[in-house]
Amino acid sequence: MWSSPIRRSVVRQCSPASPSRANTRSTRTTSRDRCRGRRASRSRRRRSTSTSTEFAFGRAQEVSGRYYFSSGLLGEGLTDYSANVGMRRNGFGVESFDYSGGVGFSGRYRRGLTDHLTLGGRIEGGRGFVSGGPTLTAGLPVGELDLSVASSGGRGGLGGAASLGYSYISRRFGANVLLRYLSDTYSNLSLTPLNDRPRLQATLSAGVPIAGRFSAGVEVQAAQARDSGYLGRYAVRGDMQLGGSTSLSASAGVGDAGGSISPVAFVSLTHFFGEQTTGSAGASSQNHQSGSNVVVQRSLSAGNGFGYRVAGDSSSSSGEAMVQAQSSFGLYQAEYHREGASNTGLAQASGGVVFIGDDAFLSRPVQAGFALIQVPGVEGVRGYLNNQEIGRTDSHGNLLIPALAPYYGNRLRIEGTDVPMDYEVGSLEQLVATPLRGGAQVVFDVKRSQSVAGLIRMESGKTPAFGELRVDYKGGHAESPVSAEGKFWLDGVPPGKHHGLVEFRDGFCNLDLNVPASPERIVELGAVRCTIDQVATASAVTSPASR
């Protein structure tokens, strides 16, 4: 398989209103950077990519399109790390439940020493081998440089590998160069010493936008494999936007397989039908063979829903059908593939458990970041991620969102019309950034608007007529005038026992207000006893007149 290298986006954006729980899993971001909204990378640009893939059953497919490119630099002081361990599965897509490979593990750690230099390392291993080495990413005055070195030991003996990449992105030009070396015995979790590998591999891609709807580029890929010899591809490429929903892509060049030169051409027309559904039709010619392919697919939404893919390719006499469905606690998929006279099927279900705060939640697999939306005590409130509905809060007012883009600012929002009328609602939207596989608790300011009414009576039976009542509670206070009959009305006082002070013509009196938990909009307390205190300063609540 050959592909233009695409790096994972690593950008840090944050809002001062973002909650501070961005640290609950295996990755860490410093609180200073989180509060200041410090960025975690330096640049992001749109560019084109082309990927040619040969699957296990011989089917080949080329996928192209535009994507947003982000550098691998981390901001100064930011870290990105992960640790993974599990049973290794053999023959994925071919054999079922074959975990005879034993235990495997992998880990990585990266830290931004400055905004222009990120250092790190990786390690992985399993039964009979271990592999790892350092990594470096440097921002240059023009472009960015990536360097990684690795060694392995164990099965097959010692081995080594190295990779050097350079990229430059601007509004008018983009280029990417990758050089890679693998020794004959180098191994890792996905490569054994018995597998063929490119000893030397070089990839070059460059492109320029022409006008607003057209871009052109050149692609060069060359590899000298240990067993299969030389394989190369040299092509020019063009992409054009036709209207708002249709695009055309084409490439032409030559392929070199061990000195055998043959023309290579590809053209594809893609149309967006709405409702996350796209269709494409294409034709290709390679190794003196031509064919055509058709694909119709619907992508999964961010929330609960379903997706599918149906494809056929005449050049390999193959076809496939796939359907996916996801709920708040699982992802389910079924596939069917036909290659010539061979038929294969695959069914899988996956899920996860997320621990955040003092609670545990069933979830879809968490591959990026996650957040827990909390609307305290309010059930059925819709939650949105970047304006896409994810689900509704449960009976405790919680909604887990398992698919945040790490290091990016993710817009989390609740639907204000779902909150009952007797609640006061603060901000409906927050901007949250989490590290990779890190989480955040996002609490929305929603408080029940409940009023407390009663009648104040002093020990003598008199009323503190035309006075003023102040009640302090945790997180705030409430005030009310006292009528000639001693009546009062307070808004927003939570359930519990609270101390109050009444200032009136003859002095002060103290009272204890016992507010019960009640579903009623207005809680009637009846008569409340108030004890006269002519001093009423140090032990009591500060009087309104002295504030």
Q: What is the DSSP string of 12-58?
A: ----TTS-S---SSS----HHHHHHT--S-S-EEEEEEEEEEE-TTS
More confident residue, 497 or 74: 497
* Residues sharing a CB contact under 8 Å with residue 128, sequence separation 6 or more, in sequence order: 154, 155
Specify whether 400 is located in the same domain as 473.
no
Q: Is the pLDDT of residue 102 over 90?
A: no
Q: Is the pLDDT of residue 537 over 70?
A: no
Q: Is the pLDDT of residue 513 over 60?
A: yes
Gap between the Cα atoms of 202 and 85, Å rounded:
32
Gap between the Cα atoms of 431 and 243, Å rounded:
33
Q: Scanning the structure block, which residue is given the tokens 């993974």?
A: 84
Instruction: Output the pLDDT for position 72.
Output: 77
Please list the residues that pair with 509 across neighbouring strands.
Answer: 502, 532
Instruction: Output the pLDDT for position 534.
Output: 53
Does 375 reside within a domain?
A: yes
Q: Please identify, among 447, 473, 502, the residue that sits at the C-terminal boundary of a domain.
A: 447
Instruction: Output the pLDDT for position 533.
Output: 66
Does 199 reside within a domain?
A: no
Q: Is the pLDDT of residue 62 over 90?
A: no
Instruction: Output the pLDDT for position 143.
Output: 92
Q: Is the pLDDT of residue 138 over 90?
A: yes
Instruction: Output the pLDDT for position 325.
Output: 94
Question: What percent of the chain shows pLDDT beyond 70?
Answer: 84
Q: Please identify, among 404, 419, 447, the residue that sits at the C-terminal boundary of a domain.
A: 447
Q: Is the pLDDT of residue 18 over 60?
A: no
CA–CA–CA angle 281, 284, 290 (5° rounding): 120
Please list the residues that pair with 48 across neighbouring strands.
Answer: 66
Specify whether 504 is located in the same domain as 427.
no
Instruction: Output the pLDDT for position 70.
Output: 37
Domain that residue 376 falls in: 368-447
Q: Are 163 and 175 in contact (CB under 8 A)?
A: no
Gap between the Cα atoms of 71 and 181, Å rounded:
22
Does 463 reside within a domain?
A: yes
Task: Please give the distance of CA 294 from its chain centroid, rounded to a whole number.
Answer: 31
Q: Please identify, among 406, 432, 447, the residue that sits at the C-terminal boundary of a domain.
A: 447
What is the domain-level CATH number for residue 472? 2.60.40.2070
User: Could you tell me if residue 388 is left (phi over 0), alpha (psi between -120 and 50 degrees) or otherwise beta?
Assistant: beta
Does 293 reside within a domain?
A: no
Specify whether 495 is located in the same domain as 529.
yes
Specify whether 425 is located in the same domain as 459.
no
**C-beta neighbour count of 4 within 10 angstroms:** 20
Q: Scanning the structure block, which residue is given the tokens 């990684």?
A: 148
Nearest to 24 by CA among 351, 409, 358: 358
Specify whether 538 is located in the same domain as 457.
yes
**Average of per-residue pLDDT values in the chain:** 81
Q: How many domains does the chain have?
A: 2
Structure confidence by residue, pLDDT tens digits, 23-46: 333 333 333 333 333 334 443 333
Structure confidence by residue, pLDDT tens digits, 187-212: 998 888 889 999 999 999 999 998 87
Gap between the Cα atoms of 17 and 33, Å rounded:
14
Q: Are 234 and 227 in contact (CB under 8 A)?
A: no
Task: Please give the distance of CA 432 from its chain centroid, rounded to a whole number.
Answer: 10
Long-range (24+ apart) CB contacts under 8 A made by 87-90 are 88/126, 88/189
- Burial label for 289, CB within 10 Å (0-12, 13-18, 19+), is exposed
Tokens of 284: 């290709």
More confident residue, 460 or 293: 293
Nearest to 182 by CA among 192, 173, 172, 174: 192
Task: Please give the distance of CA 285 from its chain centroid, rounded to a whole number.
Answer: 38
Instruction: Output the pLDDT for position 94.
Output: 66
Instruction: Output the pLDDT for position 120.
Output: 94
Specify whether 442 is located in the same domain as 456.
no
Structure confidence by residue, pLDDT tens digits, 435-493: 877 889 999 988 877 889 999 998 888 889 999 999 998 888 999 999 999 999 998 88
Tokens of 168: 């430059």
Tokens of 14: 């944050």
Structure confidence by residue, pLDDT tens digits, 394-417: 998 999 998 888 878 899 999 999
Instruction: Output the pLDDT for position 71.
Output: 43
pLDDT band at residue 92 using 50, 70 and 90 as cut-offs: low
Instruction: Output the pLDDT for position 119.
Output: 95
Specify whether 415 is located in the same domain as 455.
no
Specify whether 536 is located in the same domain as 465.
yes
Question: What percent of the chain shows pLDDT beyond 90?
Answer: 46
The helix/strand/coil state of 416 is: helix
Does 530 reside within a domain?
A: yes
pLDDT band at residue 7 using 50, 70 and 90 as cut-offs: very low
Specify whether 426 is located in the same domain as 473.
no
Give the gyration radius of the chain's Cα atoms: 32
Does 200 reside within a domain?
A: no
Specify whether 426 is located in the same domain as 471.
no
Does 345 reside within a domain?
A: no
Q: Is the pLDDT of residue 288 over 80?
A: no
Instruction: Output the pLDDT for position 233.
Output: 92
What is the signed CA dihedral for 269, 271, 60, 235, rounded to 10 degrees?
Answer: 40
Does 283 reside within a domain?
A: no
Instruction: Output the pLDDT for position 172.
Output: 87
Q: Is the pLDDT of residue 14 over 80?
A: no
pLDDT band at residue 17 using 50, 70 and 90 as cut-offs: very low
- Burial label for 108, CB within 10 Å (0-12, 13-18, 19+), is middle
Specify whether 481 is located in the same domain as 426.
no
Q: Are 437 and 366 in contact (CB under 8 A)?
A: yes
Gap between the Cα atoms of 278 and 321, Å rounded:
15
